[in-house]
Structure 1
Amino acid sequence: MAPKLLLHGCCAHCTAYSFKYWQEQGFAVSVYWYNPNIHPFMEHQSRLEAMRKLSAEMGFELITEPSYHMAEYFKNVSANVDGRCRICFDMRLGQTAAYAAGHGYEYFSSSLFISPHQKHQDAVCSAEALAKETGVRFAYADLRKRYSDSRHITKPLDLYRQQYCGCVYSEYERFGKPNSPA
């Protein structure tokens, strides 16, 4: 029987190749949606709907966290905006690892590890610490060189495609005026 891996899905585009990769490595993969960092709420819902469509197309089990936890997210990151990415990784991967521990998964990972736009080493450090804390093994692969492969999988599916990481801070960095105060 294949070992069970819970893959945190940050978005449909990053999840497509990540799911395929872990499945090809011999894992029974389920995808877990927990992303309280994505704002505004309708952006979160658009990305979740894209993930549901991808799940139907690729045939994976999609587990969605029913709570959005927006207030908790802002409480956690507002005190340390410069360190927000690590805090965000701890929150999202922590929820994933906890779910994995409570539901019989032997491994967890994330589609974050395919994105060239994430603070990769911070996400790795977060996942490694959470693996020790929860006892669920962290399955790691640096898939950043396969980012375009994931986009090639999803482009024909005509899924919603976001223009920023998800948090309002990254949205501002992407679309804000270059010399505007943060």
Structure 2
Amino acid sequence: MRAFYFDNIPGDQRLLHDSGNLVSDDLLKSIGLLHWHIPTSQQNQIDTIAEERNYKNRDTITITKEGLGALYEAKLKSFYEEHMHEDEEIRYILEGSGFFDVREHPTDSWIRCQLDAGDLLVLPAGIYHRFTLDENNMIKALRLFKDEPKWTPINRGDLTDVNPYRVDYLKSIAVN
């Protein structure tokens, strides 16, 4: 995985949008982001991480224009709306590639995480983020869940800043 600040230049969200300013692993950890690169030939390591982190359920999602048909553009637009979840979001990329953008706190800058096959990303509950494919327009990912699979995005707004999961997230990254 490669992480850098988003350039904020208008245009297709699937473009790289690389500002040229890389983001360090230490900064990613400071905002609660975890990541590993596990070659897809060594997927058994995912089971070890799942057990250590108490991920009990999983499924696979494939996002392509062919697979989503007429819903493709609407789905991409909805994935790209800034939102949070009340659960961790865990993705292991099996094929293809894409971007997860996360908000750095307290600057509110976008950090773009470029993911390819073999990348495992864990976003903490309460972090503002969004997702998009890249120009290859295809991704297949293993989704892991602590409990029953649920995918409930809560779009950013006045109520999300006081959501208990957002408040807990901010407390967890506070510098003492």
Name the TM-score class by shorter chain. Answer: under 0.3
The two structures have a TM-score, normalised by structure 2, of 0.24
- Structure (1/2) with the larger strand percentage: 2
